[in-house]
Amino acid sequence: MQPVQPDDWGTAARALTPSPGPTTLPATQLAQLVGAGELSAEDVVGAHLRRVAEVGATIHALVQLDSEGALTRAAHLDAERLSGRSLGPLGGVPFVVKDNVDVRAQTTASGSRAHAGVVALRDAPVVTRLLDAGAVLLGRANMDELAMGASTHTSAFGPTRNPWDLRCSPGGSSGGSAAAVAAGLAACSIGTDTGGSIREPASQCGVVGMAPTPGLVPVEGTVPFATDLDRVGPLARTVADTALLLAVMSGRPDLAAAALHPSGLRRLRVGVVDELCGSRNHAGVLARLDVTRSVLAELGVEVVPVSMPDGLAALGAYMTITSAACVPSLEPYVRTGQAGEEVVRRFELGRELCEHGGAELAAAERVRDNLVGQTRDALAACDVLLSPTMPTTAPRLFDETGNRRDIHAEVLADPMTAPYTDCWTVIANLTGLPSLSLPAGRSPEDGMPVGMMLSGRPGADGDLLALAAALEADGLSAR
C-alpha cells in the first residue's frame, strides 16, 4: 500500500465515498434484486470487485481477494436462478471473513506471519451457512495480529485505514471487516468479538456490529483468543442486514423478522448505565447519547438510570483474565519466532500471571463476578442497557506528517485512552450478554461516526435488533 501524503487526506477521503449503486445497497435489498432478476449476481459481485480495485489498496481492508472464485460462484448462482431454483436469503450478496475464520484451502493467518502456511481443510460452520444461503465470498479482512489489539495497528500486513478519515483507526480487532463494509468493498462481513472486536470497529466506521448471545453462533473454525469470551457475529450496513445475517449464522430464521417488524417498544424500559456515560466519554460522544435518549422518548420508550459500580474496573479485569486465558492459544505462534511484539508481550504477561499472578487473577475474577451481579440487577430494572459503544470516536493512527503514532507506548501509559477503547464493550463479554453497536450519527467535535451500544439479557438478541431497527428507522444517524 502506498502511503497517502498529508496534502491528499481530504481528497482521498472524498474519493472513498462510493457512488450510488450495488456497493451502497443493503444486503437484504441486493438479495431481493438478484432473486427477482433485476440484478445478476455477476453484476453485484463485479461492482464490488471494481470498488476494491478503486480504493482497496488505499484502505487496506482486505489481505486476500479471490476475484476468480467470486465471479465463478456468481455465474453459477445466475445459472441456478435462470433454471428456476431459489438462491436463498443471501443470494448474490458479497461478504468477507475476518482473517481468523477458516475457509477451505485458504490460510487462516489471523493477521500474523507465524501461521506456518497451513491451509484450512474445511469451512467454518458460519461460512458454510452463509454460502448455503447464497452469499458470495470475496476474500479475507485485515485484523490485529491474533486479535491482540483494537486498531489493526498490530497486523503483520500493515494497518487498515478508516474510510471516514485515512489518518484514523478503523477499530479492531475486526477493523478490516468494518472498513470493508463502510467503504463498499463488501456488503457484510463475519467478525469475532472477545472484548469488543466487532462492536468497536463498527462504531468507528459507522456500521452495525453485533456480538450475539454466547453459543448462539458456532465459534468452531475460528482461531481462539479466550474461549469462554469469544463470539462470532455479523457486521453490516443496516440493522435488517444484521438480523438476516444473524438468522443465517445461527440457524434461527425467526431472528430476521425482529428488525422488519419491531413491536412492543412502548413496553420496553431502557437503562442508561451511569458509570459508562460520564466524563470518561468525549463531549461529542455524549452529545450523540443525548440525541439517542431523545429519539427513544419519541418512540415512547421509557428511559431510566441504572448503575454498574464496577463498570470502570472492567477493562483492567478483562486484560488480566484474557492475558492468562490466551496463553495456550498464543504459545504455538510465539514458538515460531515470527509473532509480533504485542503478541509476545501479551503471551509473556499471561504466562507470568499463570505462574505468579494468583492474587491478580483472583481480584479480576471478583470484578467479573461483581459485574455479573450488577448487570443482572440492572436488567431486572429494565429490558435493555444503553451506553456509548466507546468513549471516543476513531483515534488517529497517523500524525499530520503521515507517520504512524507509537500506539503501544500510549496504551501502556493509560489503557483507557485511545486507541485501546474497549473499556465499555468488554462488560458484555465478561458477563455473557448479547450486545450490538448501532450508528448514532457523527460527533459534532470531529465529524467522525459515533456508535451507541445496546445490551440485553442472554437470549434477547431479537429485542436488541428490534430496538435498534426502530432507532435506525426514526433517523437516529441523520439527526
Catalytic residues: 98, 173, 197
DSSP H stretches of helix in 308-453: 314-325, 327-335, 341-356, 358-381, 407-413, 426-431
Distance of alpha carbon 171 from alpha carbon 33, whole angstroms: 32
> In Å, what is the CA distance from 69 to each residue of 53, 72, 94?
16, 5, 12
CA distance 57 to 456: 38
Dihedral in degrees, nearest 10, Cα atoms 307, 309, 312, 315: -100
Q: Please give the distance of CA 383 from its chain centroid, rounded to a whole number.
A: 23
SS (H, E, C) 261-311: CCCCHHHCEEEEEHHHCCCCCCHHHHHHHHHHHHHHHHCCCEEEEECCCCH
Helices (H) and strands (E) in the chain, counts: 17, 11
Which of 294, 201, 187, 300 lies closest to 245, judged by CA?
Answer: 187
Contact in structure between 100 and 147 (CB atoms under 8 Å): yes
Give the other-Cβ count within 10 Å of 356's Cβ. 9
C-alpha cell at 321: 483474565
Rounded CA separation 93/186 (Å): 8
Residue 136 dihedral angles phi and psi, to the nearest 5°: -120, 120
Instruction: Kindly provide the b/e burial profile for residues 129-147, where b requires at least 16 CB atoms within 10 angstroms of the residue's own CB.
Output: bbbebbbbbbbbbbbbbbb
State the first-to-last Cα distance of the chain, in angstroms, to the nearest integer: 36
Asked if 245 contacts 236 with a C-beta cutoff of 8 angstroms, the reply is yes
**Within its chain, how far is the Cα of 437 from the centroid?**
8
